[in-house]
Amino acid sequence: MGEIGLLLGSTLALSAPLMLAALGGYTSERSGVINIALEGMMITSCCATALIGLATGSAWLGVAGGLTSAVLLSMLHWLLTQNYRMNPIISGMGINAVALGGTNYMSQRLITVDTPDKIPVLPESLYYVLAVSLPVLVAIYAATTRGGLWLKAAGGDPRKARLAGLRPDRIRLGGLFATGVFSGLSGVLIVTHASRYVDGMTDGRGYIALAALILGGWKPVRAAVACLAFGFFSALQIQFQGTNLFGAQLPSEVWSSFPFVATVFALALLSGQSSAPPGLGKL
Amino acid sequence: MKASFAANGRNLALLAGSAGVLFAALQMSGTPPVDVLTGLAKGSMGSPAAWSGTLRETAPLLLAGVAVMLGLRAGLFNIGVEGQLLVGALTCAVTAIHLPGAGGLLAGLVTGALGGALWAAPAGLIKAYRGGHEVITTIMLNSIAALFTASLVTKVFRDPTQQSVTTSYIAQRMPMATPGAVEINAALVAGLLAALWLAWWLRRTVAGYELMAVGENPVAAEFAGIDRRVVQVKAMLMSGALAGLAGALQVAAVEHRYYDGFSPGYGFDALGVALLAGAHPLALVPSALLFGVLEKGGSAIQILGVPKGIVGVVLGVVIVVSAAFRTRKGGGDHG
């Protein structure tokens, strides 16, 4: 029983950042903006939460700083893709490069050996409650409210949405604002869980969240379930490291590559196009 | 006319904002900005040894940049160059260790290119026949390649006599030119040849024309009797082969072995090289050289206490600003 409890606990700890980030991907891509910049927003939020928290000694200010920094990057993505009409992949790559380089730069300049290790944080359980409840709430919002329909209209066919009198670029501004908040929360959780900042600590999890979003067919609750599956397999890997399973010892890399292999197979078997928002990447 | 003035203003605003970000970063470094810039220039171009280092950084970026551009001209974002390069490098090292002599080295280069192509194949097939976005598949294949090569070099091909996680060294060496004490290795020559070849191939062959036609407008290309799917798969395979070759040459001409953490992100930088170069293959040469200068100079200024991350910031800004200026030039208003 103890072992199962431990497994479930670490599953939640490993899944929650992915669930929040995947939700960030959802509000962006559902409104039609391809977003590979989740990774950059997450690491920036980690770094800002740590730096501002350490500088002010206030957990609330740290969290506010982390969320703000991610929202600012998300707004930059909106500006570049919707106003400058730049290819969203190029914009996302640029943002990721600036974010990864910039956080490396800032953290090495400002976090030194004499800086006390303790970052002021809010209780971790708060984020787990959010990670589990938000996908359901967002799904209800998307299905039942006017704002949710607007989001889907902008991502479904921006031209038709325009003919119906909507402004897809403004709707996407809202979607990307939410992306900043959700991916920012994911970064805050990651730094809260580790209770210190480590360079590159998001470790590609923004891309895994994107994979979960696709596996979940661009639906919030299904994406969250995919995140839970990824988290469960990572937890299994940690728990069973070095022990024999089914008579053979699987290398840890096999476990780690599971989310990626599953996504490639899903894309190959399920046909990626059918469930993707039709207006994805269109202006 | 009015729209173009507005666009100019927007791009200038972006340029000013980027300059502000970079200036603030330089200010924050704690080292006078002039010292940072001179340190960067001296560290990358100040002496024959510095130039040798810069060109060593440039070589894999140029060849991998050719790989990215070939995909881009077919309308495909091959973000998987990093993974294809890793697979090509490991394949080449293992082949050249087990097959002696020049023949073994040649076999290493060929199998390296094949390994890269093989690693790119799922992305091409899924894009062409299932409609799955190649950016997602190649990001996934990158992660799988990193884990796969790390696993192989740790558990199968590791040289137990070495302290670090690495294969044994290959015995073969490739020729190197040294005009004025500046080292020019075979990988750089191959990169230059590849850029020339791509420029010729795109403009002067039917296959190159078909590839560009699919990249410009897949629907129109279909009506012109071109099989979009075949062209897309072919483009992805060729791009992967070039990326694999870049990794293989890095082993054959520079590193002479494969080790854990082989690529510091050549494949990702190559995306920046290709995006900065724009549409013409020959523009890859100055673009790759700029990246080489920044990489080598960036390592040099670490001694001044300036973290390496500043290079990432500069590259990201360069990618975005150059894309903004190109979008205005090339694209109509979809408003």
Query: What digits encode the pLDDT tens for the residues A162-221?
Result: 999 999 999 999 999 999 999 999 999 999 998 888 888 998 899 889 989 988 889 999
Cβ contact, residue pair A93, B271, below 8 Å: yes
In a domain, A283, yes or no: no
Q: Which of A93, A103, A204 sits opposite B319 (nearest CB)?
A: A93
Query: Is the pLDDT reported for residue A41 higher than 50?
Result: yes
> Does B171 reside within a domain?
yes
Say which of A108, A264, A273 has its CB closest to residue B141.
A264
In-domain check, residue B231: yes
* Cα–Cα distance for residue pair B90/B148, rounded to 1 Å: 10
Is residue B87 included in any domain, yes or no? yes
pTM as predicted: 0.89
Euclidean distance between CA atoms A258 and A266, whole angstroms: 12
Rounded average pLDDT over A113-135: 85
Structural domain contains residue B319 = no
CATH number of the domain that residue A35 is part of? 1.10.3470.10
DSSP states of B51-100: HHHHHHHHHHHHHHHHHHHHHHHTT---TTHHHHHHHHHHHHHHHHHHS-
Structure tokens at A97: 């490069």
What's the average model confidence in pLDDT over A15-27?
A: 97
Quick check: B315 and A251 CB within 8 A? no
The chain B residue lying nearest A267, using CA atoms, is B132
Q: What percent of chain A has pLDDT over 90?
A: 60
The per-type count for chain B, helices as H runs and strands as E runs, is 13, 0
pLDDT tens digits, one per residue of A230-274: 898 888 877 776 665 555 666 778 878 887 888 888 888 876 456
How far is residue B327's CA from residue B330's CA, in Å, rounded to a whole number? 5
Each residue's pLDDT tens digit in chain B (335 positions)?
445 666 678 888 888 988 888 888 888 777 888 888 899 999 999 999 999 999 999 999 999 999 999 999 999 999 999 999 999 999 999 999 999 899 999 999 999 999 999 999 999 999 999 888 888 899 889 999 999 999 999 989 999 898 889 999 999 888 888 888 899 999 999 999 999 999 999 999 999 999 999 999 999 999 999 999 999 999 999 999 999 999 999 999 999 999 999 998 899 889 989 988 988 999 999 999 999 999 999 888 888 888 888 888 988 998 888 888 887 554 443 33
Identify the closest residue of chain A to B29 by CA–CA distance.
Answer: A109
Residue B284 lies in a domain: no
Domain tally, chain A: 1
Look at residue A279 and tell me if it is in a domain: no
CA distance A231 to A113: 32
Domain that holds residue B185: 53-267
CA distance A80 to chain B (A): 8
B157 to chain A: which residues are within 8 Å by CB?
A: none
Residue A132 has a CB neighbour count (10 Å cut-off) of 15
Which tokens belong to A120?
């002021």
Residue of B130, B272, B312 with shortest CB distance to A268: B130
Cβ-based contacts of B77 with chain A (< 8 Å): 89
Residues A253-277 as b/e (b if ≥16 CB within 10 A, e otherwise) read: bebbbbbbebbbebbbeeebeeebb
| Residue pLDDT, tens place only, A147-177 | 999 999 999 999 999 999 999 999 999 999 9
Residue with more model confidence, B320 or A3: B320
Q: Considering the domain boundaries, does residue A87 fall inside one?
A: yes
Contact B309 A104 (CB under 8 A): yes
Domain that holds residue A153: 2-273
Residues in chain B with CB shorter than 8 Å from the CB of A267 are 126, 130, 132, 136-137
Q: How far from A19 is each of A128, A222, B157, B210, B229, CA to CA, in Å?
A: 10, 10, 37, 42, 35
The verdict on residue B174 lying in a domain is yes
Residue at A130 is within a domain: yes
Taking the CA of residue A147 and the nearest CA in chain B, the distance in Å comes to: 22
Q: Which of A39, A44, A100, A109 to mutate to test the interface with B (most CBs of B within 10 A)?
A: A109
Number of domains chain B is built from: 1
- Residues near A164 by Cβ (< 8 Å), separated by ≥ 6? A153
Decide if pLDDT at A25 tops 50: yes
Residue B70 resides in a domain: yes
Contact criterion met (CB below 8 Å) for B62 and B195: yes
Rounded to 10 deg, the angle between the B266-277 and B81-98 helix axes is 130
